[in-house]
Structure 1
Amino acid sequence: MNGIDCFIEGFKLVRKPGLRRYIIVPTVINIFVLVLLITVSVSQFDYWVDGLMGILPEWMSFLSWLIKLLAVLIVAFLLFYLFTIIANIIASPFNALLSIKVEEHLVGKIPASTTSIWLIIPRAFAREISKLVYFLPRLAGLLLVSIVPLVNTAAPVLWLLFGAWMMAIQYTDYAADNNEIGFSDLRRGLGRSRLQTVLFGTPVYLLLAIPLANLILLPVAVAGGTVFWVNNLRGKILKPVSGESCP
């Protein structure tokens, strides 16, 4: 199953009665986080713009409309990433549970390492920190590339590829962690299937940027990422137990 099909399958799975209840809490968390971020951004927007205008010389005041436009784009960009980061950290234990149930639905059994909810919660939070440590330096590097003349002409393509890669890591990692697969092992596994990884991550990345759609997309991405894990990664990374073969 290719990456796009895995993502589409995620939409189908979250509508199943046995899985639907596992998306309620993550969706409520997503709504709360998004409303909070939008409220803060709207209330502080004029202050941020005034701060930017204060940096410019007075003779450049005619560029105020451009500054406001850039500020809107920057705030929208930061909202996208902050929403994704914060929502995933807070909802990580619930996303892990959803991934467990999706994998159980697909292969007929739950990962052996997920027998206790009390083990899932701290492990899920720790894993999100690992992803942040991996993500933030690369994000900073890409931001620098984006402001370098000439080099920044490639920035849109680099942002798309980077976003797709990070979304694939983010949403296949729940299943990998549930199966006690190390973060570096997951990245290597995804690297061996780069095309399918990008095909899965690209629609997630693009749709997450759409307001309101991103509220329901995160559970869909978790389900789709688990489908991707089962069909494209599980048999390559997970070691069979007692002679069993992985589908």
Structure 2
Amino acid sequence: MPAGTLRLTPLVAFLAPFRGLARVFDPGLRGLVIGPLIINILVVIGLATAAGVGFEALLAAWLPGGWDWLAWLLWPLFALALLVAFGVSAVALAAIIASPFSGPLAYRTARGLGHEPRQPARSFLGEMGHATVTALRKAGYYGLLFIPVLLITVIPGLNLLAPIAWFTFGSWVLAVEFLEAPLANDGLAFAEVRKTVRAHRLETLSFGAGTTLLAMVPLVNLLLVPAAVIGATHLRVRLPRA
């Protein structure tokens, strides 16, 4: 059965990043994984460290003298928030920075799955140019999606739905971010990428949900950028080729 006609279900989409995680250290992909892996690790550790230092400074300024013991109670709450907020944002930022490496990784993964990308492989400079232009378009797209989430967060009553809104927003953003590379290798411009993911909303959200959950897991999120690119490519080969 051709790769493009393999059955795609929400469960398959949800499990795709887990499948990618299992293939991060495949010998055939290892050379292309190193770049995004290093960027992923540096960004996640850097943001987590900055957040920790900032939180300690906030506690020192906010807690009255003699109340330092309360910091031990607040740290677990902060750790939980860090897993959710910084896990997703760090992976998204790392994915954007690592974009020039994602295209070649998706390209080789697709060929290994028997899916020949329609677009010829770009040079590294070509990948840099594509990543820069696409990043600007993504920023505008994500910004528009962020507006209703922000409104839900600040409007009393509606803000009860804020956790769901943020999880959905994060899932969609991560899904689009990682699916863009394999779809671009098939010659799809970002407008066409948006059209494709909208045509497969449930599968896109399922893939994003799986990716978001992994982004919240310490240590695992250090490997998530290359894993999600590989997983997104597995998902792409199950989409019908236009």
TM tier, smaller: 0.7 to 0.9
What aligned pairs does 1:101-120 form with structure 2 within 5 A after superposition?
101-120=108-127
What aligned pairs does 1:6-155 form with structure 2 within 5 A after superposition?
6-49=16-59, 53=62, 77-155=84-162
Decide which of 186, 193, 197 is 1:179's aligned counterpart: 186
Asked if 1:192 is matched to 2:199, the reply is yes
* Residue type of the alignment partner of 2:104: L
Cα RMSD, aligned residues only: 2.8
What aligned pairs does 1:195-214 form with structure 2 within 5 A after superposition?
195-214=202-221
Decide which of 232, 235, 241 is 1:235's aligned counterpart: 241
Q: 1:158, CA displacement in angstroms? A: 2.1
Separation of aligned partners in 1, 2:78 and 2:150: 16
Change (3 A) 1:35 1:69: closer
Separation of aligned partners in 1, 2:178 and 2:188: 14
* Residue type of the alignment partner of 2:241: G
CA contact (8 A) 1:49 1:68 kept: no
* Residue type of the alignment partner of 2:50: V
Separation of aligned partners in 1, 2:182 and 2:30: 18
CA contact (8 A) 2:15 2:210 kept: no
Separation of aligned partners in 2, 1:148 and 1:49: 28
Find the residue that maps to 1:18 and give its secondary structure.
coil
CA contact (8 A) 1:164 1:202 kept: yes
CA contact (8 A) 1:29 1:87 kept: yes
Change (3 A) 1:78 1:13: closer
Render the CA deviation track for 1:100-147: whole Å, top value 9, x for unaligned. 111121235344342423211221232223222211343353133123
Paired position in structure 2 for 1:245: none
Change (3 A) 1:86 1:50: same
CA contact (8 A) 2:109 2:233 kept: yes
The unaligned stretches of length 5 or more in structure 1 are 237-247
Change (3 A) 1:50 1:146: farther
**How many positions carry a matched residue from both structures?**
227
CA contact (8 A) 1:49 1:71 kept: no
The unaligned stretches of length 5 or more in structure 2 are 1-7
Moved more, 40-49 or 28-37: 40-49
- TM superposition score normalised by structure 1: 0.78
- TM superposition score normalised by structure 2: 0.80
Find the residue that maps to 2:125 and give its secondary structure.
helix
Q: In proportion to residue count, which structure has more helix?
A: 1
CA contact (8 A) 1:7 1:220 kept: yes
CA contact (8 A) 2:96 2:135 kept: yes
Q: 1:215, CA displacement in angstroms? A: 0.7
Render the CA deviation track for 1:71-125: whole Å, top value 9, x for unaligned. 6665555423441233112211111211111112123534434242321122123
Asked if 1:169 is matched to 2:179, the reply is no
Separation of aligned partners in 2, 1:76 and 1:40: 14
CA contact (8 A) 1:22 1:97 kept: yes
Q: 1:199, CA displacement in angstroms? A: 1.8
* Residue type of the alignment partner of 1:43: V
